Structure 1
């Protein structure tokens, strides 16, 4: 009767064995006697060769696993040593590069700080020069008011002396000069203000760059201090990438170089502007001083001319007054002479009249008659001549009186002109600032 199917024994896969182990053929598997209770387990016993062969397989597997484990340990040791050395080298190289980077940052930081200090000092100097300009501009107000007052005062001269003389030309020139100086000072103040603003903007750019350098220096200095024993290190996988807006070393250095170069340009422009301001104030002061001297000289010359003209007029007035006295005396004498001649004429007329009553033949044209007629004619001629001379003398006296009044008026006009030029104008010019350059330093 056929036996029911029994589970097949597990076949151990063949594997190479050491040469000293002989291959043993396994005999047919024995039948199981345990039934379903031993299902899945071998029920027959192994043969001795099979037992040796199986032990040999176990030995080989153990040997192979041990060999592989030993090789793995050796590789692990080598890898660990290599990784440790490489990591140490990488960390040291990174530390070195950070140190070099710190030197670069320190260099640009020092350069920027130096440039900031120099630019700030230059800006302060330029601000002081701007203040000088403002004080110089304020100092020009007094000369300008003096000049305008002089021109207005001289407009009150009376028409005979209301002339465009050298004084007026010099005063107009001085007024134009002061206006030009004031316009120049105002333009220079605007230019200085613009340059100060540019200096401060560039200083702010350098300060921002310097501040970034300081912050970066602290960050990199902290990074240099990091080591494997640091307690504040941790993983940041997301930081292992380049930022899109990151600069290159060339652009980084160029940025600071450009800032310093721009600051140098602004500083040079500021130095040139300060030199220009000094020249402007000095030249303006010199021009004002020379023009003031020219105006004062013109005033002196004009006052001397007026004094001389007034003196001459006074001399003429004295002569006219003397002539008036003499002419008045002459008129008195002429009138007296006319009265005397009229008395003589009356006598002659009376004689002729009385002799015209001689009777008959006595009415003779005798010598006395001819003499009386001749006397009347002679006296008539003298009287007419004296009367004409009296009329001429009276007209001369009238002319002398008119001349006297004209001379007195001219003298009064000259006195008024002298008063205006000497007392009103020249005395007011005493408060004229002597030196605009000195005035620019006064508080």
Structure 2
């Protein structure tokens, strides 16, 4: 799948342009190219630290963030590969706790592209190979891999023996690759299951759970579903967790929303269903407050765009871009934003996304929709989105930019930038803070 990626560093930007001339067989998922590329690079995936592999439609990035916080709170050095980035390309690769530096990224990417001349791997496959090289060549105690798309055919799925695998929440997204049936999506995500490796999952409807169970059994994975071998519930201001090894209560995570508590619980379960790395309960408790994952119901308190809003306004950003994510955010708004401050949604959508499905949960909750373009991406026009919102009973106006929308508000409002990770990244780039 073609990605639109830029870098402020001229060396990295030139390498991205070079990769574009190599790429063959666009929009074809599979493991052949990444396998050939890694073989040419000496199979760095075999030399990485123990791997935590995470799939899911929503919540997998947050789950990875909770995993990293828990591991680091226990004193471990941690690599992490996540996607997409919000502002800087470097956000995708974290080496022993720090974002990869431009010089190192350019050096590794050059090596990978030299090997890619005859292979024609996609940019995400190149990203994956760069990350694996970095992780193989720098000592650490653990490695976290976030699936890019699906699971079974995702480039990260070449790791043959992860320490533990996990699936976060499931929903419809990337239907042109994963299909329009939830059971098919579940099957693709479960494709990360490996023989003898724990597969930690959330609660799903019976049909989806049955499909995951079937795949886990076929490959010989150790299926660890929530509600059977482990469970978690939010009660009386605590996250109550239990598994075969015991039960305890943790503080609620700093990231807002019940869904983030469940993402945290998934990470806790993954950490506790392995025995290679020691993770004391104190580290799990600390992780609840340490975890930071930008553009997930993130409130911004200052910055140039924030200063354009009427005094007394709030500015929030969330990168959700599918109906299941929208339902979670709209539910949070109804439960927590009850002070009468009107909710104004600054909304944009790629042409490949279900814009109506994302807007629908906000009916009766959002006072107004201000629709926006996404610069440099194949998106729906602001006018088209405004007409769509109006047809659904949501008052809407098209705007040309984030600044145009900010200055259009006549009175204080709770402003939520929503609908696209690219839009969220644009907000953070223009307003700050930059993800670190």
Q: Identify the TM-score tier after normalising by the shorter chain.
A: under 0.3
Q: Larger Rg: 1 or 2?
A: 1
> TM-score scaled to structure 1, two decimals?
0.15
RCO (CA 8 Å, sep 6+): is it higher in 1 or 2?
A: 1
> TM-score scaled to structure 2, two decimals?
0.15
Q: Which has the higher helix share?
A: 1
